[in-house]
A and B are shown apart, each in its own frame.
Chain A
Amino acid sequence: MSFVEVVSCGIASVQDLGRRGYRALGVPVSGAMDRLAAAYANALVGNDPREAVIEVIGSGIELMFFSSAIVAVTGAKCVVELDGAEVREWQPIRARAGSRLRVSPPMHGFVTYIAVSGGIDVEPVLGSRATYARAGFGGFEGRYLRSGDRLPLKPIDIDSTWRRVSGMIAPDYVRLARAPLGVVELRVTKGVNSDLFEDIDSMLRATYTVSPQSDRMGYRLEGPKLESATKLGRLPSLPVDRGYVQVPPSGLPIVLMSDSQTTGGYAVALHVLPPDVDKLAQCPPGTQVRFVEVDYEEAEKAVRRYLEDLEKPELVSVEEESEYAYYVS
Chain B
Amino acid sequence: MVIYERPKVRRSGGYVIHVELCNEISLDCNKLVHALYYKVLETVKEGSVRGIEEVVPAYSSLSIFYDPRQASWRRIAELIESLWSEARATDVSKILKPRRFRIPVVYGGEYGPDLPSVAEHAKLDPDEVVRIHTSRTYVCYMLGFTPGFVYLGDVDERIATPRLPSPRTRVAPGSVGIAGRQTGIYGVESPGGWRLIGRTPLKTFDPRRDPPTPIRPGDLVEFYRIEPEEFEKLRGVYLGEVIQ
Contacts and interface: CB of A to CB of B under 8 A. Distances in A.
Interface of A: 20-28, 125-127, 132, 134-138, 189-192, 235-239, 241, 243, 261-264, 268, 271-274, 296, 298-304, 307-308
A137 B207 contact: yes
Q: Interface residues of B toward A: which range?
A: 35 or more
A201 B174 CA distance: 44
Interface stretch (B81-89, B103-111, B115-123, B144-152): B144-152
A200 B213 CA distance: 39
A237 B188 CA distance: 19
B207 to A, nearest CB: 4
A23 B15 CA distance: 16
Contact of B142 (A27, A237, A303): A237
Residue of B57, B147, B213, B217 with most partner-chain A CB within 10 A? B147
Given A126-B212, A192-B12, A303-B15, A239 B61 contact: yes
A300 B14 contact: yes
Contact of A308 (B11, B25, B69, B146): B69
A189 B12 CA distance: 6
User: Secondary structure at chain B's binding surface: helix, strand, loop or mixed?
Assistant: loop
B15 A300 contact: yes
Interface stretch (B16-24, B90-98, B128-136, B223-231): B16-24
B149 A26 contact: yes
A138 B207 CA distance: 9
A200 to B, nearest CB: 14
A307 B67 contact: yes
Given A135-B147, A273-B14, A300-B15, A24 B207 contact: no
B10 A263 contact: no
Contact of B143 (A25, A132, A308): A25
Contacts of B67: 307
A239 B58 contact: yes
Contacts of A137: 147, 207
Contacts of B143: 24-26
Contacts of A28: 147
